[in-house]
Protein backbone atom coordinates (compact mmCIF):
# COMPACT_ATOMS: atom_id res chain seq x y z
CA UNK A 1 0.00 0.00 0.00
CA UNK A 2 1.45 3.39 -0.92
CA UNK A 3 2.29 6.06 1.65
CA UNK A 4 -0.51 8.32 0.41
CA UNK A 5 -3.13 5.62 1.16
CA UNK A 6 -1.99 4.90 4.71
CA UNK A 7 -2.86 6.72 7.87
CA UNK A 8 -0.43 8.93 9.76
CA UNK A 9 1.16 8.01 13.07
CA UNK A 10 1.53 10.61 15.82
CA UNK A 11 3.41 10.34 19.08
CA UNK A 12 1.67 12.92 21.25
CA UNK A 13 3.38 14.34 24.32
CA UNK A 14 0.85 15.32 26.97
CA UNK A 15 3.12 17.00 29.47
CA UNK A 16 3.68 16.05 33.12
CA UNK A 17 0.08 15.61 34.24
CA UNK A 18 -1.83 18.88 34.38
CA UNK A 19 -4.10 18.90 31.27
CA UNK A 20 -3.58 22.64 30.96
CA UNK A 21 0.09 21.98 30.18
CA UNK A 22 -0.74 20.14 26.96
CA UNK A 23 0.46 22.00 23.88
CA UNK A 24 -1.91 23.45 21.30
CA UNK A 25 -0.47 21.04 18.74
CA UNK A 26 -1.20 18.04 20.97
CA UNK A 27 -4.83 19.11 21.29
CA UNK A 28 -5.10 19.60 17.52
CA UNK A 29 -3.70 16.15 16.74
CA UNK A 30 -5.97 14.40 19.22
CA UNK A 31 -9.02 16.22 17.82
CA UNK A 32 -8.22 15.16 14.26
CA UNK A 33 -7.20 11.55 15.00
CA UNK A 34 -9.29 8.51 14.17
CA UNK A 35 -7.61 6.23 16.70
CA UNK A 36 -6.40 7.11 20.20
CA UNK A 37 -3.91 4.61 21.63
CA UNK A 38 -2.49 4.58 25.15
CA UNK A 39 -0.64 2.25 27.46
CA UNK A 40 -1.96 0.96 30.77
CA UNK A 41 -1.29 -1.68 33.38
CA UNK A 42 -3.63 -4.62 33.79
CA UNK A 43 -5.99 -2.59 35.97
CA UNK A 44 -6.89 -0.71 32.80
CA UNK A 45 -6.41 2.80 34.13
CA UNK A 46 -4.24 5.08 32.03
CA UNK A 47 -2.70 8.31 33.27
CA UNK A 48 -2.16 9.39 29.67
CA UNK A 49 -5.86 8.93 28.87
CA UNK A 50 -6.91 10.82 31.98
CA UNK A 51 -4.77 13.81 30.97
CA UNK A 52 -6.28 13.94 27.47
CA UNK A 53 -9.80 12.86 28.47
CA UNK A 54 -11.49 16.23 27.92
CA UNK A 55 -10.36 16.16 24.28
CA UNK A 56 -11.63 12.65 23.46
CA UNK A 57 -14.73 12.19 21.30
CA UNK A 58 -17.32 9.42 21.53
CA UNK A 59 -16.45 8.32 17.99
CA UNK A 60 -12.74 7.96 18.72
CA UNK A 61 -11.53 4.40 18.34
CA UNK A 62 -9.58 3.66 21.52
CA UNK A 63 -6.75 1.14 21.57
CA UNK A 64 -5.73 0.23 25.11
CA UNK A 65 -2.23 -1.25 25.05
CA UNK A 66 -2.13 -3.27 28.27
CA UNK A 67 1.30 -4.24 29.57
CA UNK A 68 1.50 -7.99 30.26
CA UNK A 69 3.81 -7.34 33.21
CA UNK A 70 4.93 -4.30 35.22
CA UNK A 71 6.74 -5.10 38.48
CA UNK A 72 5.50 -8.66 38.98
CA UNK A 73 7.21 -11.82 37.74
CA UNK A 74 6.27 -13.60 34.51
CA UNK A 75 6.24 -17.19 33.31
CA UNK A 76 7.03 -16.14 29.75
CA UNK A 77 9.78 -18.41 28.35
CA UNK A 78 11.81 -15.31 27.47
CA UNK A 79 11.40 -13.78 30.91
CA UNK A 80 10.52 -10.12 31.40
CA UNK A 81 12.37 -9.00 28.28
CA UNK A 82 10.75 -11.69 26.17
CA UNK A 83 7.28 -10.83 27.44
CA UNK A 84 7.76 -7.13 26.70
CA UNK A 85 9.20 -7.72 23.23
CA UNK A 86 6.21 -9.86 22.36
CA UNK A 87 3.85 -7.18 23.70
CA UNK A 88 5.49 -4.38 21.72
CA UNK A 89 5.40 -6.45 18.54
CA UNK A 90 1.69 -7.21 19.04
CA UNK A 91 0.87 -3.58 19.89
CA UNK A 92 2.72 -2.35 16.82
CA UNK A 93 0.80 -4.82 14.65
CA UNK A 94 -2.53 -3.58 16.05
CA UNK A 95 -1.62 0.04 15.26
CA UNK A 96 -0.27 -0.94 11.82
CA UNK A 97 -3.67 -2.46 10.96
CA UNK A 98 -5.32 0.92 11.58
CA UNK A 99 -2.65 2.76 9.61
CA UNK A 100 -2.99 0.34 6.69
CA UNK A 101 -6.72 1.04 6.72
CA UNK A 102 -5.98 4.74 6.26
CA UNK A 103 -6.76 5.80 9.83
CA UNK A 104 -4.78 8.45 11.70
CA UNK A 105 -3.38 7.04 14.95
CA UNK A 106 -2.38 9.20 17.93
CA UNK A 107 -0.35 7.38 20.59
CA UNK A 108 -0.61 9.29 23.88
CA UNK A 109 2.46 9.67 26.07
CA UNK A 110 2.94 11.40 29.41
CA UNK A 111 5.70 14.00 29.35
CA UNK A 112 7.60 13.86 26.08
CA UNK A 113 7.14 10.85 23.75
CA UNK A 114 10.86 10.30 23.21
CA UNK A 115 11.98 10.95 26.80
CA UNK A 116 11.78 7.58 28.60
CA UNK A 117 8.35 7.25 26.99
CA UNK A 118 6.51 4.06 26.02
CA UNK A 119 5.68 5.56 22.64
CA UNK A 120 9.28 5.14 21.46
CA UNK A 121 8.78 1.38 21.21
CA UNK A 122 6.00 1.96 18.69
CA UNK A 123 8.06 4.61 16.93
CA UNK A 124 11.00 2.26 16.40
CA UNK A 125 8.72 -0.38 14.88
CA UNK A 126 6.49 1.84 12.74
CA UNK A 127 8.16 5.16 11.85
CA UNK A 128 10.09 3.71 8.91
CA UNK A 129 6.87 2.32 7.39
CA UNK A 130 4.36 5.14 7.87
CA UNK A 131 4.40 8.96 7.80
CA UNK A 132 5.06 9.99 11.38
CA UNK A 133 5.10 13.12 13.52
CA UNK A 134 6.24 13.41 17.11
CA UNK A 135 4.58 16.17 19.14
CA UNK A 136 6.93 17.14 21.97
CA UNK A 137 5.62 17.67 25.48
CA UNK A 138 6.74 19.30 28.72
CA UNK A 139 8.98 16.79 30.49
CA UNK A 140 8.58 15.71 34.08
CA UNK A 141 12.07 17.10 34.75
CA UNK A 142 10.98 20.57 33.64
CA UNK A 143 7.81 20.30 35.69
CA UNK A 144 9.71 19.21 38.80
CA UNK A 145 12.12 22.14 38.51
CA UNK A 146 9.21 24.54 38.08
CA UNK A 147 7.46 23.18 41.16
CA UNK A 148 10.63 23.48 43.22
CA UNK A 149 11.05 27.06 42.05
CA UNK A 150 14.81 26.60 41.85
CA UNK A 151 17.04 26.98 38.77
CA UNK A 152 17.88 23.58 37.36
CA UNK A 153 21.00 24.49 35.36
CA UNK A 154 22.73 27.79 34.83
CA UNK A 155 25.58 29.08 32.68
CA UNK A 156 27.86 26.23 31.59
CA UNK A 157 26.38 23.67 33.99
CA UNK A 158 25.44 20.25 32.63
CA UNK A 159 22.19 18.49 33.49
CA UNK A 160 22.46 14.74 34.07
CA UNK A 161 19.29 12.64 33.85
CA UNK A 162 19.53 9.19 35.42
CA UNK A 163 17.15 6.25 35.82
CA UNK A 164 16.96 5.10 39.42
CA UNK A 165 17.27 1.53 38.19
CA UNK A 166 21.03 1.93 37.66
CA UNK A 167 23.32 0.01 40.06
CA UNK A 168 24.13 1.92 43.24
CA UNK A 169 27.84 2.25 42.41
CA UNK A 170 27.03 3.74 39.01
CA UNK A 171 24.51 6.16 40.50
CA UNK A 172 27.02 7.22 43.15
CA UNK A 173 29.75 7.94 40.61
CA UNK A 174 27.47 9.89 38.28
CA UNK A 175 25.86 11.92 41.06
CA UNK A 176 29.28 12.81 42.49
CA UNK A 177 30.31 14.37 39.19
CA UNK A 178 27.01 15.99 38.21
CA UNK A 179 26.47 19.75 38.24
CA UNK A 180 22.72 19.21 38.40
CA UNK A 181 20.78 15.97 38.12
CA UNK A 182 17.34 14.42 37.94
CA UNK A 183 16.88 10.80 39.00
CA UNK A 184 13.72 9.27 37.59
CA UNK A 185 11.90 5.99 38.13
CA UNK A 186 12.01 6.01 41.91
CA UNK A 187 9.39 3.91 43.68
CA UNK A 188 11.16 0.73 44.74
CA UNK A 189 14.53 2.17 43.75
CA UNK A 190 14.27 5.03 46.26
CA UNK A 191 16.46 3.42 49.01
CA UNK A 192 19.22 2.78 46.46
CA UNK A 193 19.01 6.32 45.11
CA UNK A 194 19.07 7.78 48.62
CA UNK A 195 22.18 5.77 49.53
CA UNK A 196 23.87 6.88 46.30
CA UNK A 197 23.10 10.52 47.09
CA UNK A 198 24.49 10.10 50.59
CA UNK A 199 27.64 8.31 49.42
CA UNK A 200 28.28 10.96 46.78
CA UNK A 201 27.94 13.75 49.35
CA UNK A 202 24.87 15.21 47.63
CA UNK A 203 22.03 14.17 49.96
CA UNK A 204 21.78 17.54 51.68
CA UNK A 205 21.20 19.25 48.32
CA UNK A 206 18.69 16.73 46.98
CA UNK A 207 15.00 17.59 46.62
CA UNK A 208 12.08 15.22 46.18
CA UNK A 209 9.17 15.87 43.79
CA UNK A 210 6.18 13.58 43.57
CA UNK A 211 3.51 13.75 40.85
CA UNK A 212 4.55 17.21 39.68
CA UNK A 213 1.57 19.31 38.47
CA UNK A 214 -0.92 16.57 39.48
CA UNK A 215 -3.48 16.72 42.28
CA UNK A 216 -1.40 14.67 44.71
CA UNK A 217 1.78 16.71 44.13
CA UNK A 218 4.36 16.74 46.93
CA UNK A 219 7.80 18.30 47.34
CA UNK A 220 10.25 17.92 50.21
CA UNK A 221 13.93 17.65 51.10
CA UNK A 222 14.76 14.15 49.92
CA UNK A 223 16.48 13.22 53.18
CA UNK A 224 13.15 13.65 55.01
CA UNK A 225 11.09 11.37 52.74
CA UNK A 226 9.79 8.02 54.02
CA UNK A 227 10.90 5.36 51.52
CA UNK A 228 7.61 3.48 52.01
CA UNK A 229 5.67 6.49 50.71
CA UNK A 230 7.46 6.90 47.36
CA UNK A 231 5.50 6.07 44.18
CA UNK A 232 6.90 5.45 40.71
CA UNK A 233 5.86 8.93 39.55
CA UNK A 234 8.41 10.75 41.64
CA UNK A 235 11.84 12.21 41.10
CA UNK A 236 15.02 13.18 42.93
CA UNK A 237 16.40 16.54 41.84
CA UNK A 238 19.82 18.08 42.41
CA UNK A 239 19.32 21.73 41.42
CA UNK A 240 21.95 24.08 40.04
CA UNK A 241 25.10 24.39 42.12
CA UNK A 242 25.22 28.05 41.11
CA UNK A 243 21.88 28.64 42.77
CA UNK A 244 22.90 26.72 45.90
CA UNK A 245 24.34 28.85 48.74
CA UNK A 246 28.10 28.69 49.27
CA UNK A 247 30.42 30.27 51.76
CA UNK A 248 31.90 33.71 50.99
CA UNK A 249 33.76 34.50 48.77
CA UNK A 250 53.51 17.68 43.49
CA UNK A 251 52.87 19.70 42.25
CA UNK A 252 54.94 20.12 39.13
CA UNK A 253 54.28 18.33 35.84
CA UNK A 254 55.24 14.70 36.08
CA UNK A 255 56.34 15.32 39.64
CA UNK A 256 53.07 13.97 39.98
CA UNK A 257 54.13 16.83 41.98
CA UNK A 258 56.82 19.34 42.60
CA UNK A 259 60.48 19.75 42.31
CA UNK A 260 60.29 22.30 45.13
CA UNK A 261 60.61 21.61 48.86
CA UNK A 262 57.59 20.02 50.51
CA UNK A 263 57.08 21.37 53.98
CA UNK A 264 60.14 23.62 54.12
CA UNK A 265 59.25 25.71 57.18
CA UNK A 266 61.45 28.48 55.89
CA UNK A 267 58.66 29.17 53.36
CA UNK A 268 56.46 30.60 56.14
CA UNK A 269 58.38 33.84 56.13
CA UNK A 270 58.88 33.97 52.38
CA UNK A 271 55.37 34.50 51.04
CA UNK A 272 56.30 35.54 47.50
CA UNK A 273 54.08 33.59 45.12
CA UNK A 274 51.80 32.47 47.96
CA UNK A 275 48.09 31.82 47.30
CA UNK A 276 46.02 34.84 46.35
CA UNK A 277 44.20 35.96 49.46
CA UNK A 278 46.38 36.08 52.57
CA UNK A 279 45.25 34.43 55.79
CA UNK A 280 44.00 37.75 57.07
CA UNK A 281 41.70 37.96 54.06
CA UNK A 282 40.49 34.37 54.19
CA UNK A 283 36.72 34.25 54.60
CA UNK A 284 34.93 32.60 57.45
CA UNK A 285 32.67 29.69 56.53
CA UNK A 286 28.98 30.47 56.43
CA UNK A 287 27.53 26.98 56.07
CA UNK A 288 27.76 26.12 59.78
CA UNK A 289 29.30 22.76 58.84
CA UNK A 290 32.90 21.90 59.80
CA UNK A 291 35.44 22.61 57.09
CA UNK A 292 37.78 20.12 55.53
CA UNK A 293 40.66 19.86 53.09
CA UNK A 294 40.47 17.42 50.19
CA UNK A 295 43.68 16.94 48.20
CA UNK A 296 42.55 16.07 44.67
CA UNK A 297 44.61 14.33 42.00
CA UNK A 298 43.93 15.78 38.55
CA UNK A 299 45.76 13.09 36.63
CA UNK A 300 48.47 13.96 34.11
CA UNK A 301 46.41 16.19 31.81
CA UNK A 302 42.84 17.18 30.97
CA UNK A 303 39.34 16.10 32.01
CA UNK A 304 39.51 12.69 30.31
CA UNK A 305 42.05 11.65 32.95
CA UNK A 306 39.97 12.88 35.90
CA UNK A 307 38.18 10.31 38.05
CA UNK A 308 34.47 10.76 38.87
CA UNK A 309 35.33 11.13 42.56
CA UNK A 310 37.87 13.87 41.83
CA UNK A 311 35.43 15.67 39.54
CA UNK A 312 32.79 15.61 42.27
CA UNK A 313 35.14 16.96 44.93
CA UNK A 314 36.22 19.82 42.68
CA UNK A 315 32.61 20.74 42.00
CA UNK A 316 31.66 20.60 45.68
CA UNK A 317 34.54 22.73 46.97
CA UNK A 318 33.99 26.29 48.12
CA UNK A 319 37.69 27.15 47.73
CA UNK A 320 40.24 25.79 45.28
CA UNK A 321 43.92 26.06 46.19
CA UNK A 322 46.81 25.13 43.95
CA UNK A 323 49.73 25.86 41.67
CA UNK A 324 48.50 28.23 38.96
CA UNK A 325 49.15 25.83 36.06
CA UNK A 326 47.08 23.06 37.64
CA UNK A 327 44.36 25.35 38.92
CA UNK A 328 43.85 26.54 35.35
CA UNK A 329 42.86 22.97 34.43
CA UNK A 330 39.82 23.12 36.72
CA UNK A 331 36.67 24.65 35.17
CA UNK A 332 35.60 27.96 36.68
CA UNK A 333 32.39 27.69 38.68
CA UNK A 334 30.41 30.69 39.90
CA UNK A 335 30.60 31.04 43.66
CA UNK A 336 33.92 29.24 44.05
CA UNK A 337 37.04 31.09 45.14
CA UNK A 338 40.35 30.22 43.49
CA UNK A 339 43.67 30.74 45.27
CA UNK A 340 46.56 30.33 42.82
CA UNK A 341 50.23 30.34 43.77
CA UNK A 342 53.72 29.61 42.54
CA UNK A 343 55.07 26.07 42.32
CA UNK A 344 57.71 26.54 45.04
CA UNK A 345 55.53 27.34 48.05
CA UNK A 346 53.91 24.00 48.85
CA UNK A 347 54.15 24.48 52.61
CA UNK A 348 52.55 27.93 52.44
CA UNK A 349 49.86 26.60 50.13
CA UNK A 350 49.12 23.70 52.48
CA UNK A 351 48.83 25.94 55.55
CA UNK A 352 46.68 28.43 53.65
CA UNK A 353 44.24 25.62 52.74
CA UNK A 354 44.18 24.33 56.31
CA UNK A 355 43.49 27.83 57.60
CA UNK A 356 40.51 28.12 55.29
CA UNK A 357 39.19 24.77 56.50
CA UNK A 358 39.61 25.81 60.15
CA UNK A 359 37.21 28.66 59.37
CA UNK A 360 34.60 26.26 58.07
CA UNK A 361 35.42 26.22 54.36
CA UNK A 362 35.31 23.14 52.15
CA UNK A 363 38.70 23.31 50.41
CA UNK A 364 40.10 21.35 47.48
CA UNK A 365 43.87 21.43 47.02
CA UNK A 366 44.65 20.42 43.46
CA UNK A 367 47.66 18.36 42.48
CA UNK A 368 48.90 16.96 39.20
CA UNK A 369 48.87 13.21 38.71
CA UNK A 370 48.30 11.43 42.00
CA UNK A 371 48.62 13.74 45.03
CA UNK A 372 50.43 11.05 47.02
CA UNK A 373 53.24 10.60 44.48
CA UNK A 374 55.86 13.35 44.92
CA UNK A 375 53.02 15.83 45.29
CA UNK A 376 50.76 17.91 47.52
CA UNK A 377 49.34 15.21 49.81
CA UNK A 378 52.63 15.03 51.71
CA UNK A 379 52.82 18.80 52.16
CA UNK A 380 49.24 19.03 53.42
CA UNK A 381 49.56 16.06 55.78
CA UNK A 382 52.86 17.31 57.16
CA UNK A 383 51.25 20.61 58.11
CA UNK A 384 48.05 18.89 59.29
CA UNK A 385 50.00 16.86 61.83
CA UNK A 386 51.12 20.01 63.66
CA UNK A 387 49.27 22.57 65.73
CA UNK A 388 47.01 24.36 65.07
CA UNK A 389 45.79 22.05 62.30
CA UNK A 390 45.59 18.65 64.02
CA UNK A 391 41.77 18.71 64.17
CA UNK A 392 41.19 19.75 60.55
CA UNK A 393 39.77 16.85 58.51
CA UNK A 394 41.97 15.94 55.55
CA UNK A 395 41.14 13.50 52.77
CA UNK A 396 43.16 12.38 49.75
CA UNK A 397 41.47 11.67 46.41
CA UNK A 398 43.77 9.68 44.10
CA UNK A 399 44.50 10.42 40.48
CA UNK A 400 46.11 8.75 37.50
CA UNK A 401 49.88 8.84 37.93
CA UNK A 402 52.26 10.13 35.28
CA UNK A 403 54.09 6.78 35.28
CA UNK A 404 50.95 4.79 34.54
CA UNK A 405 49.79 7.25 31.89
CA UNK A 406 53.11 7.10 30.05
CA UNK A 407 53.27 3.31 30.37
CA UNK A 408 49.82 2.94 28.82
CA UNK A 409 50.89 4.94 25.78
CA UNK A 410 53.53 2.37 24.82
CA UNK A 411 52.08 -0.89 26.13
CA UNK A 412 52.92 -2.41 29.51
CA UNK A 413 56.50 -1.65 30.57
CA UNK A 414 55.40 -1.76 34.23
CA UNK A 415 54.02 -5.27 33.87
CA UNK A 416 56.37 -6.66 36.52
CA UNK A 417 58.01 -5.28 39.67
CA UNK A 418 59.13 -1.67 39.37
CA UNK A 419 60.53 1.15 41.48
CA UNK A 420 59.62 4.85 41.46
CA UNK A 421 62.47 7.30 42.10
CA UNK A 422 62.69 11.07 41.88
CA UNK A 423 65.92 12.42 40.39
CA UNK A 424 65.48 15.77 42.13
CA UNK A 425 68.28 16.40 44.61
CA UNK A 426 66.64 19.42 46.22
CA UNK A 427 65.21 17.41 49.10
CA UNK A 428 67.71 14.58 49.32
CA UNK A 429 71.43 14.35 48.49
CA UNK A 430 72.44 13.01 45.10
CA UNK A 431 74.41 10.31 46.90
CA UNK A 432 71.12 8.89 48.22
CA UNK A 433 69.59 8.97 44.74
CA UNK A 434 72.62 7.26 43.25
CA UNK A 435 72.54 4.54 45.91
CA UNK A 436 68.86 3.87 45.24
CA UNK A 437 69.38 3.78 41.49
CA UNK A 438 72.16 1.22 41.88
CA UNK A 439 70.07 -0.90 44.26
CA UNK A 440 66.99 -0.87 42.04
CA UNK A 441 69.04 -1.59 38.93
CA UNK A 442 70.88 -4.44 40.67
CA UNK A 443 67.51 -5.89 41.68
CA UNK A 444 66.51 -5.81 38.01
CA UNK A 445 63.48 -3.58 38.61
CA UNK A 446 61.87 -1.48 35.91
CA UNK A 447 62.36 2.18 36.89
CA UNK A 448 59.98 5.12 36.71
CA UNK A 449 62.10 8.25 37.06
CA UNK A 450 60.28 11.42 38.09
CA UNK A 451 61.58 15.00 38.12
CA UNK A 452 64.44 14.10 35.76
CA UNK A 453 65.54 17.63 34.95
CA UNK A 454 64.73 21.33 34.94
CA UNK A 455 66.33 24.59 33.95
CA UNK A 456 68.46 24.50 37.09
CA UNK A 457 69.17 20.74 37.08
CA UNK A 458 70.81 19.62 33.86
CA UNK A 459 73.27 16.85 34.72
CA UNK A 460 71.20 14.30 36.69
CA UNK A 461 69.85 12.39 33.67
CA UNK A 462 73.33 11.84 32.25
CA UNK A 463 74.67 10.64 35.58
CA UNK A 464 71.67 8.32 36.06
CA UNK A 465 72.28 6.82 32.61
CA UNK A 466 75.88 6.07 33.56
CA UNK A 467 74.86 4.37 36.79
CA UNK A 468 72.18 2.26 35.10
CA UNK A 469 74.54 1.13 32.33
CA UNK A 470 76.60 -0.55 35.04
CA UNK A 471 73.71 -3.04 35.40
CA UNK A 472 71.75 -2.83 32.14
CA UNK A 473 72.59 -3.58 28.53
CA UNK A 474 73.01 -0.60 26.19
CA UNK A 475 69.90 -1.61 24.20
CA UNK A 476 67.61 -1.57 27.27
CA UNK A 477 64.42 0.27 26.20
CA UNK A 478 63.75 3.67 27.76
CA UNK A 479 60.38 5.39 27.32
CA UNK A 480 60.39 9.20 27.30
CA UNK A 481 56.87 10.45 27.93
CA UNK A 482 56.39 14.21 27.70
CA UNK A 483 53.14 16.08 28.46
CA UNK A 484 51.11 12.86 28.37
CA UNK A 485 47.49 13.67 27.57
CA UNK A 486 48.31 17.30 26.85
CA UNK A 487 48.61 19.25 23.60
CA UNK A 488 52.38 18.82 23.55
CA UNK A 489 52.35 15.05 24.10
CA UNK A 490 55.35 13.24 22.70
CA UNK A 491 56.30 9.64 23.44
CA UNK A 492 59.57 8.11 22.25
CA UNK A 493 61.36 4.83 22.81
CA UNK A 494 65.18 4.95 22.82
CA UNK A 495 68.07 2.69 23.81
CA UNK A 496 69.51 3.37 27.26
CA UNK A 497 72.88 4.09 25.67
CA UNK A 498 71.24 6.67 23.39
CA UNK A 499 69.34 8.54 26.12
CA UNK A 500 70.09 12.22 25.48
CA UNK A 501 69.73 14.48 28.56
CA UNK A 502 69.06 17.44 26.25
CA UNK A 503 65.75 15.81 25.26
CA UNK A 504 64.52 15.58 28.84
CA UNK A 505 62.83 18.35 30.82
CA UNK A 506 60.58 18.74 33.84
CA UNK A 507 57.52 17.72 31.82
CA UNK A 508 59.11 14.37 30.94
CA UNK A 509 58.97 11.08 32.78
CA UNK A 510 61.40 8.24 32.06
CA UNK A 511 60.53 4.54 32.17
CA UNK A 512 63.65 2.36 32.09
CA UNK A 513 63.16 -1.32 31.30
CA UNK A 514 64.56 -4.30 33.19
CA UNK A 515 66.59 -7.09 31.59
CA UNK A 516 63.28 -8.77 30.72
CA UNK A 517 61.56 -5.77 29.10
CA UNK A 518 60.86 -6.20 25.40
CA UNK A 519 60.30 -3.83 22.48
CA UNK A 520 58.30 -5.32 19.62
CA UNK A 521 57.20 -3.82 16.30
CA UNK A 522 53.65 -4.92 15.50
CA UNK A 523 52.04 -5.43 12.14
CA UNK A 524 50.75 -1.87 11.92
CA UNK A 525 54.28 -0.50 12.30
CA UNK A 526 53.89 0.68 15.92
CA UNK A 527 56.42 -0.23 18.59
CA UNK A 528 55.21 -1.50 21.95
CA UNK A 529 57.14 -2.03 25.16
CA UNK A 530 56.18 -4.67 27.68
CA UNK A 531 57.68 -6.49 30.63
CA UNK A 532 56.63 -10.16 31.04
CA UNK A 533 54.85 -11.07 34.25
CA UNK A 534 56.87 -14.26 34.52
CA UNK A 535 60.51 -14.00 35.60
CA UNK A 536 63.06 -16.67 34.60
CA UNK A 537 64.11 -19.03 37.34
CA UNK A 538 67.59 -18.54 38.76
Judged against a pLDDT cut of 80, whether residue 277 lies above it is answered with no
pLDDT of residue 100: 97
Q: How far apart are CA 484 and CA 486, in angstroms?
A: 5
Mean pLDDT of 59-83: 82
Q: How far apart are CA 347 and CA 317, in angstroms?
A: 20
Judged against a pLDDT cut of 80, whether residue 161 lies above it is answered with yes
**Domain 141-238, CATH homologous superfamily name and number:** Tetrapyrrole methylase, C-terminal domain (3.30.950.10)
pLDDT of residue 244: 62
Q: Could you give the 3-state DSSP secondary structure of residue 190?
A: helix
Express each pLDDT in 295-329 by its tens digit.
Answer: 999 999 888 899 988 988 998 899 999 999 999 99
Q: Would you identify the CATH topology of the domain 403-530?
A: 3.30.950
Specify whether domain 265-400 bears CATH 3.40.50.970: no
In sign, the C-alpha dihedral spanning 179, 182, 187, 188 is negative
Q: How far apart are CA 337 and CA 74, in angstroms?
A: 55
What do you get for the CA distance between the two ends of the chain, in Å?
Answer: 80
Domain ranges of the chain: 3-137, 141-238, 265-400, 403-530
Q: Spell out the residues 6+ positions from residue 386 whose beta carbon is closer than 8 angstroms to its own.
A: none
Q: Are both 141-238 and 265-400 of the same fold?
A: no
Q: Where are the beta strands (DSSP E) in 218-291?
A: 218-221, 234-238
Q: How far apart are CA 418 and CA 400, in angstroms?
A: 17
Indicate the pairing of strand 35-40 with strand 105-109. Answer: parallel
Q: Could you give the 3-state DSSP secondary structure of residue 278?
A: coil
Judged against a pLDDT cut of 50, whether residue 138 lies above it is answered with yes
Rounded to 5°, the CA angle 230-186-192 comes to 100
pLDDT-above-90 percentage for the chain = 73
Express each pLDDT in 442-496 by its tens digit.
Answer: 999 999 999 998 777 779 999 999 999 999 999 999 999 999 998 889 999 999 9
Average pLDDT of the chain, as a whole number: 88
Q: How far apart are CA 303 and CA 35, in angstroms?
A: 50
Question: With contact defined as beta carbons under 8 Å apart, do 246 and 204 qualify?
Answer: no
Express each pLDDT in 407-448 by its tens digit.
Answer: 999 999 999 999 999 999 988 999 999 999 999 999 999 999
pLDDT-above-70 percentage for the chain = 90
Q: How far apart are CA 387 and CA 500, in angstroms?
A: 46
- Which of these CATH numbers, 3.40.640.10, 2.50.20.10, 3.40.80.10, 3.40.1010.10, describes 3-137? 3.40.1010.10
Amino acid sequence: MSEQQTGRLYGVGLGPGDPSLMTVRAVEVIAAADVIAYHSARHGRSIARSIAERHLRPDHIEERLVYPVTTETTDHPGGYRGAMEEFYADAAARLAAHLDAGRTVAVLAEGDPLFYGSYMHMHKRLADRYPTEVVPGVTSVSAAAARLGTPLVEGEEVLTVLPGTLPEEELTARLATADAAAVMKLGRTFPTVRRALERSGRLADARYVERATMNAERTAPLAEVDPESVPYFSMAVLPSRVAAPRGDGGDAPHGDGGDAPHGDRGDRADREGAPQGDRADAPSGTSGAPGEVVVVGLGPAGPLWLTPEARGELAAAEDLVGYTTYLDRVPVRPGQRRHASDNKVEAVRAEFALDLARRGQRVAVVSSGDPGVFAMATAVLEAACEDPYREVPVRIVPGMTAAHAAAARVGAPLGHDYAVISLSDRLKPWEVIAERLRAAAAADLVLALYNPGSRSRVWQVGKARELLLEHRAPDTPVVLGRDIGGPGERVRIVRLADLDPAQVDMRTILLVGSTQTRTVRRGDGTDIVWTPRRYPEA
